[in-house]
Amino acid sequence: MANLILVRHGESLWNAKGVWTGLTDISLSEKGRQEARLAGKSLENIKIDLAFTSVLKRAKETLDEIRKVLNLNTLSSIEDEALNERDYGYLTGKNKWEIQKEVGKSEFQKIRRGWNMPIKNGESLKDVYNRVVPYYQNKILPKLKAGKNVLVVAHGNSLRALVKYLENISDKDVEKLEIATGEIYIYEIDATGEIVSKKTLKTSLGRI
């Protein structure tokens, strides 16, 4: 058996402002660093053999805080843009709640959480899925099948895409899937790559 540990990065400076961040390389807020440390503390009893992150600072800084808490300074990590956040295109840098006022709650929910909602110059969740899932299958799953415990520190949408695949969530139901900053999903994976069990640890300090 192996553990697949998914952690959404802690709150970023733009998360705190309610701004769509996407591929903009924004650091963690102090609250986000605290969430990352809490995530690390929640993982004290789990051996971690290898870590994967996106190439964005907020994911890498979260991993750094987890490493410090767990005294895992020599933990090997692999960065790849396949795990990056969704590209929000023209919405990048705009305030989410102002957009919600402009387009209404229903349209806003489709933009924010829908499966195949196109965004000008950006990605849908389906687009993110189409880069995250092959990366998981080719790079992460072989480690799990070999019995390695793998930590993946990534983003709200790259992790939603992966969880959709892992749990076979429908295109409709994925709209309801929320992963908070600092939240942890732990899957127990058998030697064939199948999920045996799952648990969720809430370490967020209150913002999605």
Q: Which residues are catalytic?
A: 9, 85
Please, are residues 187 and 193 in contact by the beta-carbon 8 Å criterion? no
Pairing assessment for the beta strands 150-154 and 50-53 based on DSSP bridges = parallel
Three-state secondary structure string covering the chain: CEEEEEEECCCEHHHHHCECCCCCCCCECHHHHHHHHHHHHHCCCCCCCEEEECCCHHHHHHHHHHHHHHCCCCCCEEECHHHCCCCCHHHCCCEHHHHHHHHCHHHHHHHHHCCCCCCCCCCCHHHHHHHHHHHHHHHHHHHHHCCCCEEEEECHHHHHHHHHHHHCCCCCHHHHCCCCCCCEEEEEECCCCCEEEEEEECCCCCCC
| Spatial distance between the Cα atoms of 165 and 29, rounded to a whole number of angstroms | 30
Cβ atoms of residues 160 and 6 within 8 Å: no
